[in-house]
Amino acid sequence: MNPFTYSRADDVATAVRDIASAGGAKFIAGGTNLLDLMKGNVERPARLIDINRLALREIRRGPDGGLEIGALVTNTDVAYNEEVERSHPLLSRAILAGASAQLRNMATTGGNIMQRTRCPYFYDSATPCNKREPGSGCSAIEGFNRYHAILGHSESCIATHPSDMCVALAALEAIVSVTGPGGERSIPIAEFHRLPGDSPHIDTALGAGELITAVILPAEGFPEHFAYLKIRDRTSYAFALVSVAAALRMEGGKIAEARIALGGVAQKPWRDPGAEAVLRGSEPTRDNFANAAQAILRDARGFEHNAFKIELARRTVVRALSEAAQESAR
């Protein structure tokens, strides 16, 4: 790790003011990703501003039935929260599919959203990487790309976003609340993470000096029909090859609303409203699910070691939707 100075902020206003006045500063919360990146000299902040004492550790039920999750609530505390389990169980399932118990005890809601790709070339400062060092090239396109993107990639970058939690947030259409030099604003989760294009070093829509303060879940949490299915090289404590968050609202035996979000396939959780619309008003049959899967993956393109993920993703979508269509075990 590079030498850095350290300070603590005791309220949000101070944290935002401090990061604006300090060049090269970063916020630290759980630290599970940032410290790892600092050990590899991928991140070299001049200063860390510790935000763990900010009052952002509550989960509150809103008047409309939604949930507001403070940015510092740990992944463990979200996953096992009774309110989350009751109204938005898809989020609990997704979180518990990720990392280990130890990491979930440290990792925070805001930090999970902000985590960076686990592309091995991004981590290896001896190799070119446009995300780590813009303009240096992408080592993964011609390299070992088993874990890389099949959707939304560019000639600059084929990395994936590693989060499970964010895949559920995408399906649930969460809103990210942030505070910064320009005041407070809300960013829909679909707009929070960026596709690489020609600027893969910019992961998110978060502005300079902005701090995530909360995640808002709309009231519709699909507690009756949901599934989170994660396919990986070992059955626990591994990043996804493909994951699918599926949520259905059923009316009279037909699908009234469908949400499908994919993880492990792009630099952001992947949704396709057109494919979801295919299912609206239809019966929950395997053929209909296969049509939706086909639609989501229609533009997918793989590389030497990951082309198998296209068919894997199709099958995972069908299975996740089939599981969601069953009365989900409560």
Partner 1 sequence: MNDLAPGTATSLPAETSIALTVNRVRRQMSVAPWTTLLDALREHLGLTGTKKGCDHGQCGACTVLVDGRRINSCLTLAVMRDGSEVTTIEGLAEGDALHALQEAFIEHDAFQCGYCTPGQICSAAGLIREGRAKTSDEIRELMSGNICRCGAYPNIVAAIQQSMAAEGVV
| C-beta of residue 243 within 8 angstroms of C-beta of residue 198 | no
The three-class DSSP label of residue 187 is strand
Looking at beta carbons only, is 52 or 154 nearer to partner 1? 52
Selected binder of partner 1 within 20, 31, 86, 315 (CB under 8 A):
31
User: Angle at which helices 286-296 and 308-325 pack, to 10 degrees?
Assistant: 140
Instruction: Annotate each residue in 228-267 with x if it binds partner 1 (CB under 8 A) or - if it does not, as one string.
Output: --------xx------------------------------
Q: Does 57 bind partner 1 (CB under 8 A)?
A: no
| Smallest distance from partner 1 to CB 5, Å | 5
Provide, rounded to whole angstroms, the least separation between the CB of residue 30 and partner 1: 8
Strand order in the sheet with 270-271: 226-231, 242-251, 254-263, 270-271
Q: Which of 81, 105, 154, 322 binds partner 1 (CB under 8 A)?
A: 105
Cβ proximity to partner 1, 10 vs 304, nearer residue: 10
Query: Smallest distance from the beta carbon of 325 to partner 1, in angstroms?
Result: 25
How far apart are alpha carbons 245 and 47 in whole angstroms? 37
* Alpha-carbon gap, residue 145 to 70, rounded angstroms: 35
First CA to last CA distance, the chain: 46
Nearer to partner 1, 123 or 192 (CB): 123
Radius of gyration of the chain measured on its C-alpha atoms: 19
Of 105 and 282, nearer to partner 1 (C-beta) is 105
Near partner 1 by CB under 8 A: residue from 20, 52, 85, 218: 52
166 binds partner 1 (CB under 8 A): no
3-state SS, one letter per residue, for 64-111: CCCEEEECCCEHHHHHCCHHHHHHCHHHHHHHHCCCCHHHHHHCEHHH
The footprint of partner 1 (CB under 8 A) covers 1-11, 14-15, 18, 28, 31-32, 35-36, 38-39, 47-50, 52-53, 76, 80, 99-103, 105-106, 236-237
